[in-house]
Chain A
Amino acid sequence: DTGVSQNPRHKITKRGQNVTFRCDPISEHNRLYWYRQTLGQGPEFLTYFQNEAQLEKSRLLSDRFSAERPKGSFSTLEIQRTEQGDSAMYLCASSSGTTFDYEQYFGPGTRLTVT
């Protein structure tokens, strides 16, 4: 257990529905990352927060995806109008990021299945 928690662990939804995932980082960590991982591939970066500011978004993050980190604590990732191609593991990571953060702590992920 890295101290990063994600909920729910599994989500099955029908195409076209909206889903929201939550990530609770390690409490003193000011940086939070979202990644997506499909079967047989390494994680792909989606977006990054420093405190409550969203500083970077990948081109993978279409306008159906939105992420927030109110008050710089937990974060949510929402996918609107889900598509079958959104089926993946969604991973959250956090780091202290005081200088060069060589170590990101990953949560266990939320596995999304879109039927």
Chain B
Amino acid sequence: DAKTTQPNSMESNEEEPVHLPCNHSTISGTDYIHWYRQLPSQGPEYVIHGLTSNVNNRMASLAIAEDRKSSTLILHRATLRDAAVYYCILRDADNYGQNFVFGPGTRLSVLP
């Protein structure tokens, strides 16, 4: 799986939008972009995924650059519960059933 790079940490104020960036310059055409997050003392949980088009769900939005070399996870109104480590992961659609390769992720702090 191709490698991703994310900032080590970010801070946000409560109720403000948060943009979490991810660079994946070596992404291949069949790589899906996944985001997971891990709250303190819990296992990771799925947030969102996409291939080429921007995606929205109840948790977040995923904005994918036109060249797909970067993406941004958008939390529209951060809450204290959103404080977590956010992982951006690439996964080849042709390798379904394979494991996720997690990096160190971005630690998001939300200030009240």
Contact = CB atoms under 8 A, between A and B. Distances in A.
Interface of A: 2, 4, 31, 33, 35, 40-45, 48, 50, 55-56, 58, 91, 93, 97, 99-109
A42 B45 contact: no
B108 to A, nearest CB: 14
Interface residues of B, number: 23
Given A44-B102, A106-B43, A97 B97 contact: yes
A33 B103 contact: no
Chain A interface, DSSP helix/strand/loop, else mixed: loop
Interface of B: 32, 34, 41-46, 49, 85, 87, 91, 93, 96-105
A33 B44 contact: no
Given A55-B97, A56-B98, A103 B46 contact: yes
Contacts of A91: 43-44
A80 to B, nearest CB: 23
7 contacts: A40-B104, A42-B87, A43-B100, A91-B44, A97-B97, A102-B91, A107-B43
A31 B97 contact: yes
Chain B interface, DSSP helix/strand/loop, else mixed: loop
Contacts of B101: 45
Given A40-B104, A42-B87, A100-B93, A48 B99 contact: yes
A68 B101 CA distance: 22
A4 B45 CA distance: 12
User: Closest 10 A-B residue pairs measured CB to CB?
Assistant: A42-B102, A106-B43, A45-B99, A100-B96, A103-B46, A102-B49, A43-B102, A106-B44, A91-B43, A42-B103
A11 B87 CA distance: 27
A2 B45 CA distance: 9
Contacts of B85: 42
B35 to A, nearest CB: 11
A43 B103 CA distance: 8
